[in-house]
Amino acid sequence: MSENQIKGYFAFDDSDLIANRAGRLSPKQEKKILSNDQFANRVILGFFLVCLAFTLFFAYKVFSDSASIPSWVGLILAMFFGSLFSRVLFTKVDYSVQKAEGEVQFVKVEKLSGSATDPMHKRQKVSSYEMHIGGESFSNANPTLIEIMQGDVYAVYYTKTTRQILSVELMSKNK
């Protein structure tokens, strides 16, 4: 795989890489991240407003009939989920550019699907790959990259909180 194919897979260009080397996002990366962030915030705000509506509804039901157990349960659940969504909504995400450098290793990770309370015959083994580099790991790595990157030394630039890979550059071939 050529350098251009790796750029295509990780969706970056030379201007992105230059900005990431300097420890910042390129204007194109900023625009993409802000767009994704705004969409996520709108979805979470929608869920929060639904929870708020349910909270008000169940609060009215509790005040009109305080002995109603389902109303109390609904009120507590609506308040609980509303508080979770509000925490996510008002949490600041750190998009600062981080760098990890080192030999790339891909590790196959196997997990059981479903929850721990599901019967074993309904759970399946699901495998995915993690990319390990310079003490950092990135989940859901594409297995097609194993042949190309495994064992070589790369620098990976990524966002701090979301751990989204912004760009990569080959430092040396070890093959």
Same domain, 164 and 105: yes
Same domain, 41 and 108: no
Same domain, 80 and 54: yes
66 exposed, middle or buried (CB, 10 Å; 0-12, 13-18, 19+)? exposed
Same domain, 44 and 109: no
84-141 pLDDT per residue, tens: 998 888 878 888 999 999 999 998 888 888 777 878 778 888 888 889 998 899 987 8
Same domain, 36 and 12: no
Same domain, 102 and 158: yes
The whole-angstrom separation of Cα 94 and Cα 163 is 10
Last residue of a domain, one of 89, 108, 134: 89
| C-alpha 59 chain-centroid distance | 35
Same domain, 13 and 66: no
Q: Give the range of the structural domain holding residue 9, as residue numbers without chain letter.
A: 3-25+95-172
Same domain, 119 and 164: yes
141-170 pLDDT per residue, tens: 888 888 888 888 999 999 998 888 999 998
What number of H helices and E strands is found in the chain?
Answer: 5, 6
Give the pLDDT of residue 144.
81
Same domain, 84 and 107: no
The whole-angstrom separation of Cα 33 and Cα 10 is 14
Give the pLDDT of residue 155.
94
pLDDT at position 34 over 90: no
pLDDT at position 1 over 60: no
> In the chain, how many domains are there?
2
Domain at 104, CATH number:
2.40.50
pTM, rounded to two decimals: 0.70
